[in-house]
Structure 1
Amino acid sequence: MTIHKEGYKILFVLLCVLALANYAVRYFLPVNELAQQLALIASLIIYLLVLQFFRNPKVSVNVDQNLILAPADGKVVVIEDTEESEYFKSERKQISIFMSPLNVHVCRTPVGGLVKYFKYHAGKYLVAWHPKSSTENERTTLVVELANGVEILVRQIAGAVARRIKWYVAEDQKLMQGQEYGFIKFGSRLDVFLPVDAEINVNIGDVTKGGRTVIATLN
């Protein structure tokens, strides 16, 4: 288990703030041992909660271009046929995965291939399960083309708390299946748009593991 690079600065700043807070308690309440102990315990809990958010476990990916892998850890909250209006402009199957603050927040590519399209959109910060969050919130759209020409779209979506989307991809870049391509800080959602004939392998409420759970199969 390692700590993700996106957490280095936050964890350092938080450590300094908590250290100063504990110093202040000891300085202003030098004889109140209970207050000092409570402050220390609270600081440890806060730091460990933030630390676990930035954990980055190693993932062993079984590469298979007929399988669509979950782009992140989380829970399946949407499975539906919908009109994808940004890139495909046609009907697609959509699977949405909600990430709570307790999930690993590394975003992984569901398939391997060539990045045909990538775009960042500024936007609102509606709660991640809001129906309009996919089209109105801050988000990124990534389209990966497989070797057989099939294109898969995956979208990072910021939520009411998650307001820091990070990405490490660009158009014409080649990606491996399950490769890390981004990170969302403090909980949000990812949408995957598939061909209408794809076979869905998950149900609403299922828990997914990024780069490991098979969410669909291509026909």
Structure 2
Amino acid sequence: MPTIDREAAPATAVAALPALVAALAGRRGLALALAVAPVGVALFFRDPDRRPEHGGFDADTVVSPADGKVMFAGPGQDGVAPEGEWQQVSIFLSAFDVHINRAPYGGRLREVTYRPGRWLAAYKHESAHRNERTDLVIEREVDGATRVVHFRQIVGLMARRVVTRVSVGDELATGQRIGLMKFGSRMDVFVPPEVDLLVRTGQRVVAGETVIARWPSSDVTA
């Protein structure tokens, strides 16, 4: 049985109510059928271990912060990317994907900015700046230069809450858990233009394991 995140408790309890009502009414068959719902909801919050866990990547490696499918990989899109020049990887999470999010890059968390918003379908371009979201910025000193990775948790049509469990000043390891998004949603990662993107549109990625980008080698270990 996989580990279940604590955020599952209230949602699973609500999903279990119809089965409980049916059981109290003596409708055993219906209660058993309805019991599938809370099990499915609980499994949505599954939190599998990933290897390597909390580190093991070199300082040039950027990993996927989420399970899902790459829906864009290329130059930063207008209206989506932060101000400046960036490379962008956008990942769509369906309701069937693991929704635990992980740090794409190790370093000090410089910014955490929550923005309320709408719940447009996460695959739509405008969801990046109109939906509820949290922007996070990590910085790290490598060979006397400061590297910056910007990433964003974005809720979708089904997702109605973003959960961020890290704070400004935290030191994060590449692949470390940082929070989750409830139900179908989206993650965007932005890296500087000199970083090589290693994924393509349509590719499946795994949080904390799939390498999505890499800096030119610095020979520095994470």
- TM (normalized to structure 1)? 0.89
Which protein is richer in helix relative to its size? 1
Give the deviation of 1:48 after TM superposition.
2.4
**Separation in 1, partners of 2:171, 2:189:** 19
Give the deviation of 1:46 after TM superposition.
1.5
> Are 1:104 and 2:98 an aligned pair?
yes
Q: Contact conserved, 1:83 with 1:91, CA < 8 A, in 2?
A: no
Give the deviation of 1:83 after TM superposition.
5.6
Helix, strand or coil at the partner of 1:3: coil
Matches within 5 A, 1:48-197: 48-61=39-52, 62-82=56-76, 89-148=83-142, 149-197=146-194
The gaps in structure 2 that reach 5 residues or longer are: 217-222
> Deviation string for 1:167-188 (max 9, x for gaps)?
0111111111111111100110
| Structure 1 residues 214 and 200: CA distance shift in structure 2, 3 A | same
**Separation in 2, partners of 1:218, 1:73:** 22
**Separation in 1, partners of 2:6, 2:57:** 25
**Separation in 2, partners of 1:88, 1:130:** 17
**Separation in 2, partners of 1:83, 1:187:** 22
Q: Contact conserved, 2:74 with 2:197, CA < 8 A, in 1?
A: no
Instruction: Tell me the equivalent position of 2:208.
Output: 211
Helix, strand or coil at the partner of 2:183: coil
Give the deviation of 1:21 after TM superposition.
2.9
| Structure 1 residues 3 and 206: CA distance shift in structure 2, 3 A | same
The gaps in structure 1 that reach 5 residues or longer are: 27-35
Helix, strand or coil at the partner of 1:134: helix
- TM (normalized to structure 2)? 0.88
Q: Contact conserved, 1:83 with 1:89, CA < 8 A, in 2?
A: no
| Structure 1 residues 87 and 161: CA distance shift in structure 2, 3 A | closer
For these two proteins, the number of residue pairs brought into alignment is 209
> Deviation string for 1:76-99 (max 9, x for gaps)?
001121267799520111100111
Q: Contact conserved, 2:80 with 2:128, CA < 8 A, in 1?
A: no
Bigger radius of gyration, 1 or 2? 1
Give the deviation of 1:40 after TM superposition.
3.1
Alpha carbon RMSD of aligned pairs, Å?
A: 1.8
**Separation in 2, partners of 1:79, 1:123:** 24
| Paired letter, 1:105 | H
| Structure 1 residues 12 and 88: CA distance shift in structure 2, 3 A | closer
Instruction: Tell me the equivalent position of 1:18.
Output: 19
**Separation in 1, partners of 2:13, 2:77:** 44
Helix, strand or coil at the partner of 1:124: coil
Helix, strand or coil at the partner of 2:179: strand
> Deviation string for 1:29-63 (max 9, x for gaps)?
xxxxxxx42x1342132122212101111112232
Identity over aligned pairs, percent? 34
Following TM superposition, the consecutive aligned residue runs of length 4 or more in structure 1 with deviations greater than 4 angstroms are 83-88
